[in-house]
Amino acid sequence: MPAPQTESNRSERFAAYIAARRFDPPRPLLMRAAELASPKDRALDAGAGALNATKYLLSAGFAHVTALDSAPAAEKAAEELPSERVAFVLSRFEDFACPVDAYDLVNAEFSLPFIRRENFAAVFAGLLGAVKPGGVFTGQLFGLNDSWNTPESGMNFHSRDAVEQLLGGWDIVEFEEEDHPGKTKLGEPKHWHIFHILAHRAA
C-alpha cells in the first residue's frame, strides 16, 4: 500500500526525504533550465530541501541564490554553503513575500504540490511574477491520478488543461507528463502523476 501523505506527518517525512536526497546529483530538467537562463545574477530555489539544486545553481554560475524552505533540516544544510552567495529563508511558501521581477531563474522542484489547495493560486502567481522578463521557471505539479490525491493530503493536484492554463502567456520550452506506478525516494510504492515544466518568460 502507498504510504499516506498527510499534513500531520509532513514534518517527519520532509526530514527523512532531505536526509535521503542530500547527495543526489542535480536533476536534468534543472540543468537544462540553468543553461537557458541568461544572465545568471539571481535565482530562487523554492522548496530547497537538501539544497542539491542550490549547490548546482552556484556551480552553474549564478552569482546569488535565495533558498526557501520551511524545514529546519534544510536550514541546517544551508550552513555548509557560502553566506555571501546564498540567502536561506526558513518559511512556508504562503508566508514568503515574492519580490516582483527579481530572479533570472525560479526553481520549484517537487515542492509546489505541498501547498494547500486554497493557497496555491496566489502562491504560484507570486512565483511566476518573481521571474524577470526574459527569465526561466522550472518545477513540477502533480496530476489528478497521483496516489497522494486524497482529502487528507492538504496538497494540490491539477488536470493537464489546468496546468496549461496556469502557464498562459509563457513560452513553454518543455512540458512532460508522467503517469505510472513507482516508488518514492523513501522506497515506498506510489502512483506518480507528474507534470514537469520548463517555461520562459518573454523579455
CATH of the domain at 151: 3.40.50.150
Structural domain includes residue 146: yes
Q: Which residues contact 76 (CB under 8 A, 6 or more apart)?
A: none
| 11 confidence band (pLDDT: 50, 70, 90) | confident
3-state secondary structure of 98: coil
Question: pLDDT tens digits for 152-185?
Answer: 999 999 999 999 999 999 999 999 999 999 999 9
Q: Which amino acid is at 67?
A: A
Structural domain includes residue 108: yes
Q: Give Cα 202 to chain centroid, integer Å.
A: 21
Q: What is the mean pLDDT of residues 22-44?
A: 95
- Global pTM reads 0.94
Cis peptide before 25 (omega within 30 of 0): no
Tell me how far apart the alpha carbons of residues 191 and 146 are, in angstroms, rounded to a whole number: 6
- Please state, for a pLDDT cut of 70, what percent of the chain lies above it: 97
pLDDT at 40 over 70: yes
Of 18-32, 77-91, 107-121, 154-168, where does mean pLDDT reach its minimum? 18-32
Backbone angles phi, psi at 83, to 5 degrees: -65, -25
Structural domain includes residue 186: no
3-state secondary structure of 17: helix
Q: Count of domains in the chain?
A: 1
| 4 confidence band (pLDDT: 50, 70, 90) | low
Tell me how far apart the alpha carbons of residues 126 and 43 are, in angstroms, rounded to a whole number: 15
Which alpha helices (DSSP H) does the chain contain, by range? 10-21, 28-36, 52-59, 72-78, 117-129, 160-166
Q: Which three cell numbers stand for residue 54?
A: 542550490
Residue-level pLDDT at 21: 86
Residue range of the domain that includes 102: 11-17+26-179
Structural domain includes residue 40: yes
Structural domain includes residue 137: yes
Angle value at C-alpha 92, between 87 and 97, nearest 5 degrees: 65
Structural domain includes residue 192: no
pLDDT at 10 over 80: no
